[in-house]
Amino acid sequence: MSIKEEKVRYVARLARIKLTDEEVSLFSRQLDGILGYVDKLNQKLGEQSRIPPTNHPHTASNPFRADEVKPSLKSEAALANAPQKRGDFFKVPRIIEE
Amino acid sequence: MDNLYSLTAGELLSLLDKKSVKPEEIIESVYSRAQSVDKKIKGYIHLDKEKALDQGKSLPAAGRLRGIPVAIKDNICVEGELTTCASKILRGFKPPYNATVIEKLKSEGAIICGRTNMDEFAFGSSCENSSYYPTLNPWDTGRIPGGSSGGSAAVVSADEAIMALGSDTGGSIRQPASLCGVVGMKPTYGRVSRYGLIAFASSLDQIGPLTKDVKDAALLLGVIAGYDGKDSTSVNIPVPDYLGYLKNDVKGMKIGIPKEYFVSGMDKEVEGSVKEAIALLKGKGAQIVDVSLPHTEYAVAVYYILATAEASSNLARFDGIQYGYRCADPENLLDLYERTRGEGFGAEAKRRIILGTYVLSSGYYDAYYLKAQKVRTLIKNDFERVFESGCDCILTPTSPTPAFKIGERVLDPLSMYLSDIFTISVNLAGVPGLSIPCGFTKNGLPIGMQLIGNFFKEEKLFRIAYTYESNTDWHKRSPGL
Are B73 and B179 spatial neighbours (Cβ–Cβ below 8 Å)?
Answer: no
Q: Do the domain assignments include residue B148? A: yes
Per the domain annotation, does B97 fall within a domain?
A: yes
C-alpha torsion B476→B477→B479→B481, nearest 10? 70
In a domain, B374, yes or no: no
Q: Do B357 and A14 make contact, defined as CB atoms within 8 angstroms?
A: yes
A12 to chain B: which residues are within 8 Å by CB? 350, 354
- Residue A15: per-residue pLDDT: 97
Q: b or e along B192-213 (b: 16 or more beta carbons within 10 Å of the residue's beta carbon)?
A: bbbbbbbbbbbbbbbbbbbbbb
**Average pLDDT score, chain B:** 96
Give the whole-angstrom CA distance, residue B281 versus residue B286.
Answer: 6
pLDDT for res B155: 98
Q: Summarize the confidence of residues B132-157 as an average pLDDT.
A: 98
Look at residue B31 and tell me if it is in a domain.
yes
Answer whether A24 touches B (CB < 8 Å): no
**Higher per-residue pLDDT: A56 or B240:** B240
CA B320/CA B312 separation, integer angstroms: 16
CB contact under 8 A, B413 and A81: no
Distance of alpha carbon B360 from alpha carbon B64, whole angstroms:
45
Q: Report which of B377, B351, B388 is spatially closest to residue B298, judged by C-alpha positions.
A: B377
Give the ipTM. Answer: 0.93
State the Cα–Cα distance between residues A81 and A61, nearest whole angstrom. 35
What mean pLDDT do residues B127-142 have? 97
AA identity, residue A82 = A
Closest by Cα among B382, B391, B392, B479 to B430: B382
Residues of A in contact with B313 (CB under 8 A): none
Using an 8 Å CB-CB cutoff, list chain B residues near A56: 203, 233
Q: Which residue of B has its CA nearest to A64?
A: B232
SS3 B256: strand
| 3-state SS, residue B108 | coil
Confidence of residue B398 (pLDDT cuts 50, 70, 90): very high
Substitution target from A11, A20, A64 for chain B, most B beta carbons within 10 A = A11
Cα(B347)–Cα(B153) distance, integer angstroms = 24
Say if B286 falls within a structural domain.
no
Average pLDDT over residues A21-47: 88
Q: Is residue B72 part of a domain?
A: yes
- The fraction of chain B above a pLDDT of 90, given in percent, is 91
pLDDT value for A4: 87
Average pLDDT estimate for A4-27: 95
A11 and B CB contact within 8 Å: yes
Q: What pLDDT does B242 receive?
A: 98
Closest Cα in chain A, distance from residue B353 (Å): 7
What angle, 0 to 180 degrees and rounded to 10, lies between the N-to-C axes of helices B9-17 and B214-224? Answer: 80
- Best mutation target among A1, A13, A41 (most B Cβ atoms within 10 Å) is A41
B172 is a catalytic site residue: yes
Tell me which residue of B349, B440, B321 sits closest to B131, measured CA to CA.
Answer: B349
Pick the CATH number of A1-45 from 1.10.20.60, 3.40.718.10, 2.120.10.70, 3.40.630.30: 1.10.20.60
Q: What is the distance between the alpha carbons of residues B128 and B143, in angstroms, rounded to a whole number?
A: 11
Q: How many CB pairs under 8 A join A and B?
A: 167
Residue B416 has pLDDT above 90, yes or no: no
Minimal Cα–Cα distance from B312 to chain A, Å?
A: 8
Q: Which of residues 41-60 of A touch B (CB under 8 A)?
A: 41-42, 44-45, 48, 51-58, 60
Q: Which among B358, B364, B365, B377 is the top mutation candidate for probing chain A, defined by the most A β-carbons within 10 Å of its own β-carbon?
A: B358
> Which candidate from B94, B304, B338 shows the least CB-CB separation from A17?
B338
Give the length of chain B.
Answer: 481
- Contact, B114 vs B152, CB < 8 A? no
Is the link from the previous residue into B435 a cis peptide, with omega within 30 of 0?
Answer: no
B67 lies in a domain?
A: yes
Rounded Cα gap, residues B265 and B268, in angstroms: 8
Selected residue of B335, B374, B415, B454 to mutate for chain A interface (largest A Cβ count, 10 A): B374
Min Cα–Cα distance to chain B from A76, Å: 10
**Beta strands across the sheet bearing B111-116:** B44-47, B111-116, B69-73, B163-168, B206-211, B183-186, B433-440, B446-452, B393-397, B254-258, B287-291
* Residue ranges making up the domain that contains B46: 4-247
- CA–CA gap between residue B168 and residue B208 (Å, rounded): 7
Report the Cα–Cα distance between both ends of chain B, in Å, rounded. 19
Supply the pLDDT for residue A2. Answer: 58
State the sign of the Cα–Cα–Cα–Cα dihedral B435, B276, B154, B222.
positive
Q: Is residue B207 within a helix (H) or strand (E), and if so which, with residue range?
A: strand B206-211
Q: Is the pLDDT of residue A59 over 80?
A: no
State the catalytic residue, choosing from B29, B42, B73, B457.
Answer: B73
pTM comes to 0.96
pLDDT digits (tens, 9 = 90+) for B238-284: 999 999 999 999 999 999 999 999 987 789 999 999 999 999 999 99
* Nearest CB partner across the interface for B322, out of A53, A56, A81: A81
B1 falls in which pLDDT band (50, 70, 90)? low
For residues B209 and B182, the answer to whether their CB atoms sit within 8 Å is: no
Query: A69 to chain B, minimum CA–CA distance in Å?
Result: 15
Cβ <8 Å between A41 and B298? yes
Residue B258, helix vs strand vs coil: strand
Residue B237 with chain A: CB contacts under 8 Å: none
Q: How many domains are contained in chain B?
A: 1
CATH number at residue B27: 3.90.1300.10
DSSP symbol at B370: I
Nearest-5° angle of CA B133, CA B217, CA B479? 50
Select the more confidently predicted residue: B216 or A4: B216
Query: φ and ψ at B206, to 5 degrees?
Result: -145, 145
Domains of chain A, by residue range, sit at 1-45
Q: CB contact, 8 Å: A84 with chain B?
A: yes
How does pLDDT run across B284-319, given as a tens digit for each residue?
999 999 999 999 999 999 999 999 999 999 999 999
Report the alpha-carbon distance of residue B94 to residue B104 in Å, rounded.
19
Chain B: residue nearest A79 by CA? B322
Catalytic residue among B87, B126, B148, B152: B148
**Residue bearing the bigger pLDDT, B249 or A70:** B249
Q: Is B193 a catalytic residue?
A: no
Active site residue B313: no
Residue B4 contacts by C-beta under 8 Å, 6 or more apart in sequence?
B12, B21, B25, B26, B29, B30
State residue B354 phi and psi, 5-degree precision: -70, -45
Low-confidence winner among A94-98, B67-71, B129-133 (lowest mean pLDDT): A94-98
DSSP β-ladder status, B206-211 and B163-168:
antiparallel
* Domain-embedded: residue B414: no
Rounded Cα gap, residues B273 and B276, in angstroms: 5
User: What is the per-residue pLDDT for A1?
Assistant: 47
Residues of A in contact with B96 (CB under 8 A): 73, 77-78, 80-81
Smallest CA-to-CA distance from B185 within B227, B222, B137 is with: B222
Among the listed residues B54, B50, B57, B47, the one whose alpha carbon sits nearest the alpha carbon of residue B161: B47
Residue B395, H or E segment = strand B393-397
A64 touches chain B (CB under 8 A): no
